Each structure stands twice: as structure tokens, then as C-alpha cells.
Amino acid sequence: MAKIKKASDSLTVMTNIVLPNETNSLRNLFGGELLAKMDRCASISAARHCERRVVTASVNHVSFNHPIPEGGVVVLESKVSRAFSTSMEVYVDVWLDDPINQKKMHTNEGIYTFVAVDEFNRPIPIPEMIPETEEEKLRYDAAFRRKELSLILSGRMKPLESVELKKLFQEPQEPAGDKK
């Protein structure tokens, strides 16, 4: 597949108001409801990138930094952060938006992996992705480590087979001349 796409080509923005039936006993948005919203938003980004059917392969990370209250306006923004062969990482940022005071607070982020599949649910190749902004470049650079970690945690890769992740745990090598 020759096509190359930008991260911004997959930008997806979903805005919702938190309704009472989505809240927990503290009257904040229930975590599972947020996960479902993030999965929907991210899956649209993934489909926009590869122009194919996609399935969620894993949820690699979700952070709940601030509660989102009933009646709050929730804005989800997702983009593909890196495309591999058949899989892609999608980053979702969640904001609590105060339209009256025009303030926005970053409340959550999530990192998902999607796989493009054919009509028989077999993985198929996807276009490459090029990052443009500084944030997109940082997320792109770290995505391979996260892919390796996710494969290790799901039993699909042995830790010693990793390339990028292993480097994090290796002692920095001293230049030959500095040895005492």
C-alpha cells in the first residue's frame, strides 16, 4: 500500500454532555462509559487512517486524572499516533470543556491499538503515517516501545525479543577511552 497519510488526516473530535444515566454514585462520569466513548472515537480515527474496517486489539493505557461531573461537556480528540504493518496506535485526549467561562481542562488520555481487517477478519496492510507537530513526533517515537510492551503483556512477545523496550533497561555504555 503506497499511500502515506498525516496524523491530522485521522483527527476525530466527539463532544458530549454527561447525562445522569452515565454517572457513578459520586455523580461523576462512570469510568466504563468514558472507555466506551474513547473506543468509539479512536476506532473512527483508525478507520479514517486506513479506510478499512478496524477492530480494537488492545487498550494499552488509560489515565483518569480528574473526575468529570454530571452535566459536564466532554470533548474527545483522537488521532493515529503511529501506523505499523497492519496495526496502528491511536491516542485519545479527553477534555472537560466549560463553554461559559471558555476554559478547558485535560482530564484523561488513552492509548489504543487497532488492526485493519478484511471481510474475513484477517489483518491487512495499512498506509504509513507521518507525524508533523512536536507532540505527534514524540508520540510516534514512543509508540514502538508501547507496541512491544503490549505484545509482551499479552504473551505475544518474549521480553528478550524486544528491541526498543530492552534499550530502556540497559546500562549506558561508557566510551572506550573513559574506562579506568
Residue type, 55: V
Judged by CB under 6 A, the chain residues 80 through 139 that form the site for ligand PKZ are 84-87, 113, 115, 117, 121, 123
143 CB-near residues (< 8 Å, 6+ apart): 81, 82, 89
Using the rule CB under 6 A, is 16 a contact of ligand PKZ? no
Q: How far is the CB of 41 from ligand PKZ (least distance, A)?
A: 10
Residue 15 corresponds to which amino acid? T
Largest CA distance in the chain: 67
Q: Nearest distance from residue 60's CB to ligand PKZ, in Å?
A: 7
- Show the binding pattern over residues 34-73: x = contacts ligand PKZ (CB under 6 A), - = does not: ---------xx--xx--x--xxxxx---------------
Q: Which is nearer to ligand PKZ, 44 or 94 (CB)?
A: 44
Instruction: Kindly state the smallest distance separating residue 65's Cβ from ligand PKZ, in Å.
Output: 24
Burial of 116 (0-12, 13-18, 19+ CB in 10 A): buried
Nearer to ligand PKZ, 35 or 73 (CB): 35
Q: Are 112 and 92 contacting, i.e. CB atoms less than 8 angstroms apart?
A: yes
Q: Where are the beta strands (DSSP E) in the chain?
A: 4-6, 12-17, 53-64, 73-83, 87-98, 103-117, 128-130
Which residue ranges make up the site for ligand PKZ (CB under 6 A)? 43-44, 47-48, 51, 54-58, 84-87, 113, 115, 117, 121, 123, 147, 150-151, 154, 156
